[in-house]
Every structure is written in C-alpha cells, then in structure tokens.
Amino acid sequence: MIVAGLDIGSLTIKVVIFEENEIKGFTIIPTGTDVNKLTKDCLEQTLRRTGNNFRDLQAIVATGYGRINVPFANKSITEITCHALGASWINSDTRTVIDIGGQDSKVISVDQDGRVIDFVMNDKCAAGTGRFLEVMAQALGVKTEELGKESLKSKKKISISSMCTVFAESEVISLIAEGYAKEDIIRGLHEAISNRICSMANRLRLENSVTLTGGVAKNMGMVHALKKRLKVKVYVPEEPQIVGALGAAIAARKIVYSG
C-alpha cells in the first residue's frame, strides 16, 4: 500500500511517499508562482527517488494553504490535522505539537491517537514565522539556515520590541548600526518569537511531550529559545519540515484502509 502526502506551503512544497508504515521517500522544494506544476514536479521527483509510478499511489491527500486546488488529490485536509497525525506517528508520547511554518504558527493539543483536541493559530500577521526569520536573515547578511548556529554564540541578551516583520527589520538594522553583535540580535529575535509562541501555547493546556514541527524547528537557536521558555520536554524530529506532508500521507492511508 503506497500513498502520498503533499504539503503545499507558503515557502516550500513537501511531498512524502508512505509505504505500509514507513516513509519511503520525501522531497522539499521552494514554492513559486505555478504552484500546481511545482506540486506535480515535486511529486514526480519523489516518485523517481522511490522507484514508483503515479499509478502505484492508492491515495493522495493535500494539506497546507495551497491544498484546495490540487486536481490529483483525493482529499484536502488542514495542516492542523496533518501535523497532529504526523507528529504522533513520529513520537507517540506527544501531546502538544508546535508548528512554526512559513507564514503560520500553531499550537495543537493531541490525544494518544494523534487526534486534535484543540488548537490555536497566530492571528492575521506573520510575525514570528519562517517569513519573519527570512527577512531578518537578509537584513543581517546571514543565510537563514545559519541563524541557529549564530545565535548559540550569543553572550549578551538583547530585547527586540517590534513584532511586526517590517518594523522589526528596521529595528535590527538600527541595532547593527549601533554596533550590537549579530549573534546577540539573532538570539533576541529567537526569544521574541519564543515569547509569542508561548503566549499562544498557554491558551491551551500545554502537556508533555511537545513536538516541534515546521521548517523553523530546524533552527537550533529557535529550539533552544523555546525549550528554555516552555519548561517542558521538547522533541524535534529528524525532518521537522515534512511532518505536515507525513500527516497527509497517514490520512491518505486511512482513506485506503476505510475503502
């Protein structure tokens, strides 16, 4: 039984091919203007990697903000449900999932079967998400993937007061001009995001253990800031960015099993 899960996000498209009960292969590509074509390309790339054909797939589920217009998906399911399913499959002890994606952040309470009990999402603006960190990385002249490593060098605490991405960028540029060290600024940014995420998380019953998902979970500085603030056990999967697509694939498997 082979199925596919597609997570069409604001910054990247992720595809997971799932066979019986394991991840057979996955691909992550940046998104673009022709989302449908890119999704198909991403799926085909993954199928080539796993040595399968499109016809082999018994079900396909799409998630993410671009989930609605995927003509070859059997069903579309929200990323809340998919992240819950994916995180629970990886770590069956998880009871809280924190996903920080490209433009979205969410905190999800799950039960032992990976079902969503409650959730909270960021309100309207993308402050404290992947997009926020991308903009800051550019302002700092650092690659996004190096933000984590840089922040862990920090020796001094700085408080970043703006949460709006645009105003925070201005604040960062001012701090650079005033001679503050890059690693201290980045750490300040991580702590600001972490505070915001924790306020969201406190609206739910934050329970052990917490799984971090989404691209931002690859940022070890962000993970460190969250662990410090949350004061609960935090688990980061090997590939946190594909958890949504994985959950979609698990949902696709359920469709096959239920006939």
Partner 1 sequence: MPDNYKNNFKSVLVKKIARNSNTYKIGNIGSKIYFRKSSKSFKLWLDFLFYQLKEACKKRKLVVWTNIYTPSELLYALDLMPIYPELISGVLASVGLASYFIETAESKFYTTDLCSFYRIATGLTLKDWFPKPDLIISSSQLCDGSTKFFHNISKYYNCGHYLIDTPYYNNLSSQKYIISQLKEIAHKIAEITGKQLDNKRLNYAFDLSNQTREYIIKISKLRENIPSPLSGWDAMAYILYMFFSSLGTERGWEFYRTLYQEIKEKVDQGIGAIKEERHRILWLHQIRPYYQNEIMQNLRENRAVISFEEVSYVYWSVLDPQRPWESLAQKITSNFGIGPIERRIKTVYDLVKRYKIDGVIHFSQRGCRQSCGGAYIIKDFLQKKGVPMLIMDGDGADYRNYSKGQTRTRIEAFLEMLS
Going by their DSSP bridges, the two strands 96-100 and 210-213 should be labelled as parallel
d(CA 13, CA 35): 9
CA geometry: angle 183, 184, 189, nearest 5 deg? 95
Q: Does 69 bind partner 1 (CB under 8 A)?
A: no
Interface stretch with partner 1, choices 28-36, 37-45, 74-82, 215-223 (CB under 8 A): 74-82
118, 145, 164, 170: which one binds partner 1 (CB under 8 A) = 118
Cα separation of 167 and 196, whole Å? 16
Nearest CB to partner 1, comparing residues 173 and 198 = 198
Task: Note whether 65 binds partner 1 by CB under 8 A.
Answer: yes
Q: What is the largest CA-CA distance in the chain?
A: 63
Q: What share of the chain is helix, strand, coil (3-state, %, to 5)?
A: 45, 20, 35
**Strand residue runs (E) in 45-145:** 59-63, 75-76, 96-100, 105-110, 116-121
Nearest to 161 by CA among 151, 171, 147, 148: 171
Exactly one of 18, 26, 89, 119 binds partner 1 (CB under 8 A); which one?
119
Binding mask 123-152 for partner 1 (x = CB under 8 A): xx----------------------------
Segment near partner 1 (CB under 8 A); pick from 114-122, 138-146, 160-168, 237-245: 114-122
What is the C-alpha end-to-end distance of the chain, expressed in Å? 12
Interface residue with partner 1 among 121, 135, 163, 176 (CB under 8 A) is: 121
Q: Which helix (H) or strand (E) holds 130?
A: helix 130-140
Among the listed ranges 79-87, 88-96, 141-149, 153-161, the one in contact with partner 1 (CB under 8 A) is: 79-87
Q: How far is the CB of 82 from partner 1 (least distance, A)?
A: 9
Find the part of the chain contacting partner 1 (CB under 8 A) among 45-53, 78-86, 165-173, 228-236.
78-86
Instruction: Return the ∠ at Cα 150 (arms to 137 and 213), rounded to 5°.
Output: 70
Q: Note whether 67 and 73 are within 8 A (CB).
A: yes
112 lies in the binding site for partner 1 (CB under 8 A):
no
Residue 58: CB minimum distance to partner 1, A: 21
Segment 202 to 231, residues that bind partner 1, using CB under 8 A: 203
Query: Token pair of 255, please?
Result: 């469709």
Residues 14 to 33: which contact partner 1 by CB under 8 A? none
78 interacts with partner 1 by CB under 8 A: yes
d(CA 169, CA 82): 32
Looking at 35-43, 76-84, 135-143, 147-155, which segment touches partner 1 (CB under 8 A)? Answer: 76-84
Q: Which stretch binds partner 1 (CB under 8 A): 116-124, 135-143, 151-159, 229-237?
A: 116-124
Would you tell me which residues interact with partner 1 (CB under 8 A)?
A: 65, 68, 77-81, 115-119, 121, 123-124, 203
